[in-house]
Structure 1
Amino acid sequence: MNEPIAGRSFRDQAIPESIEAVHVLLDELWADAPFVPDMDRMTFATAVIEAASNIVQHALPEFPTPVDLGVDISVRTHSLRAEISAFGATDPQLDTEAKGMPGPEAESGRGLALIRALVSTVTFARQDGTNIWVLSRDSTPHP
């Protein structure tokens, strides 16, 4: 069975300081999973930070309370998975089917294109006032 070997979680207000906390979370995670290749670490961490940053910068509250950012990351032998959530955010009405980088005149959409380029799969779901991004990256540990 492919049980998680290491994992970390974070939840707090979606404010700029939360991004630094996610960086720390990732650094702690890699200490527990030294077998993950550097390239996988770098690309996965970049995708996670980009998704979290998009929530901090663009998520609008659906309720009078602020939006919370949640990050749950797990490492398995051959994969990395992150669930990045915007608790209490409005529906972003994203074009989740768009592929590739938008043109130079586009005002948005580059973050999602970058995330897609860095991970194996990206899914988006909206459930009970929460926007949930699930990112996964296939990884092959060094022998």
Structure 2
Amino acid sequence: MTDVLARRSFRNVATPEAVDAVHGQLDDLWEDAPFVPDMDRMTFATAVIEAAANVVQHAEPESADPVELGVDICIRQTSLQAEVSAFGAASPAIDDGDPAMPGEEAESGRGLALIRALVTTVTFTRQDGTNTWVLSREPIGS
């Protein structure tokens, strides 16, 4: 495993303002990783923001406590990775298949398909009341 060259983490109540804060974290992150090509920055950032927005919009609390959004972003010389977590969330209905982009008239359902189109891999785990999506884009710049 190669060394981490830049990292940012965020955790707070899952609100629209939290998504804005994650966007700010991504903007700051690129200053520490100027070697990441613009196309990789744009596609990866779009996937991370989409995943964070999906937590805010769709995660249901498992208890009376609000869902918290956690994002941990890590840059290595040849890869970008983000863990997007919904802490205290109920188990979501997950389609483990490769979802197709819904038709033009559909009002929802584009999120996971868009994320999968923008990154190399997407994995999902659930442990101790936390849903986590791991997004990876590699190799960068190719």
Q: Which residue matches 2:47?
A: 47
Q: CA deviation at 1:36?
A: 0.2
- Counterpart residue type for residue 89 of structure 1: A
Distance 2:90 2:20 in 1: 24
What per-residue deviation string (whole Å, max 9, x for no partner) do you get for residues 6-58 of structure 1? 00000000001001100110011100000000000000000000000000011
Q: CA deviation at 1:102?
A: 2.2
Q: Is the 8 A contact 2:60 2:67 kept in 1?
A: yes
Deviates more, 1:91-100 or 1:60-69: 91-100
- Secondary structure at 1:82 match in 2: strand
Q: Is the 8 A contact 1:11 1:68 kept in 2?
A: yes
- Counterpart residue type for residue 90 of structure 2: T
Distance 1:140 1:46 in 2: 15
What per-residue deviation string (whole Å, max 9, x for no partner) do you get for residues 77-128 of structure 1? 0000000000000111111213321234545321000000000000011110
- The size of the alignment, in residue pairs, is 142
Change (3 A) 1:77 1:59: same
Correspondences of 1:107-126 after superposition (within 5 Å) = 107-126=107-126
Q: Is the 8 A contact 2:5 2:33 kept in 1?
A: yes
Distance 1:34 1:98 in 2: 33
- Counterpart residue type for residue 63 of structure 1: S
The RMSD of aligned alpha carbons is: 1.5
Q: TM-score, normalised by structure 1?
A: 0.94
- Secondary structure at 1:2 match in 2: coil
Structure 2: tracts of 5 or more residues without a match: none
Q: CA deviation at 1:140?
A: 3.3
Correspondences of 1:98-109 after superposition (within 5 Å) = 98-104=98-104, 106-109=106-109
Q: Is the 8 A contact 2:80 2:140 kept in 1?
A: no
Identity %: 68
